[in-house]
Amino acid sequence: MNTPASEPDIASRARRSVIVTGAASGIGRAAALAFATGGDRVLAADLDAAGVEETVRRITVAGGVARAVAGDLAEQRVVDAVVARAVAEFGGVDVLVNNAGVMDRMSAAHETDDAEWDRVLRVDLTAPFLLTRAVLPHMLAAGSGCLVFTGSEAGLRGGAAGAAYTAAKHGITGLVKNLAVMYRAQGIRANMIAPGPTATGMGVDSRPDAHGPSVVGSLIGANIGRIGSADEQAAAIVWLASGAASFVNGAVLPVDDGWSAV
């Protein structure tokens, strides 16, 4: 099968330039390692400097090529530094994986203070937008590109997290669909995985006596299947960025052992 004309290079380019955020641990680290194993050059970004350097160390020990940038991706200067480093080191940006995120406290709206709302929305929605906006000129110039977002079951339903996280992940779902429509004619695809419960380092600092956790906890406990692995989520991310998914655009892919089907 011929590669579609809308995506002439990215499906077959031997050593793509890939930015992975949240790459210090969990799904982000697994994705960074998977891209590098496939021959891609990886710019790993995370707030956790020691963690992201360890990810890069693992890639280089295995013979791959990776660089690290540490900083808060909710800050424009860090976003600019990440993109500038990828362009300078690797010549452009072929794939952006917007994976970094934080969890809320499962708080219901009346329990959500300004600090919780602002932090979750800034990290989980605004930061991916800022990074996407920063890489788009490079992808537009190249005539190709892949944007892959780590969403959540909370972006598909109302009973998987608190008010802030649910709002942020629904925002990501809408952003992905808008990007797919806006840039498909320019050879740029945007897709999202929606992980179910996955064994990562992300925890929930919830108050057991709060209203939100008591509602959400019972719903999650009654409907989830098994706990997934970071490698399983990373495999879906890598596939969405591959030539095998060249006709997949604007998709929300649940990776959740059927939880979204319940």
Residues designated catalytic: 165
DSSP run (H or E) holding 51 = helix 49-61
Rounded to whole angstroms, the Cα distance separating 227 from 85 reads 35
Q: Which residues on neighbouring strands pair with residue 192, listed in sequence order?
A: 149, 252
Rounded to whole angstroms, the Cα distance separating 199 from 208 reads 21
The neighbour count for residue 143, using CB atoms within 10 Å, is 15
Placement of tokens 């099968």 in the chain: 1
Placement of tokens 């890939």 in the chain: 18
Q: Taking phi first (over 0 means left), then psi (-120 to 50 degrees means alpha), and beta for anything else, what does residue 77 get?
A: alpha
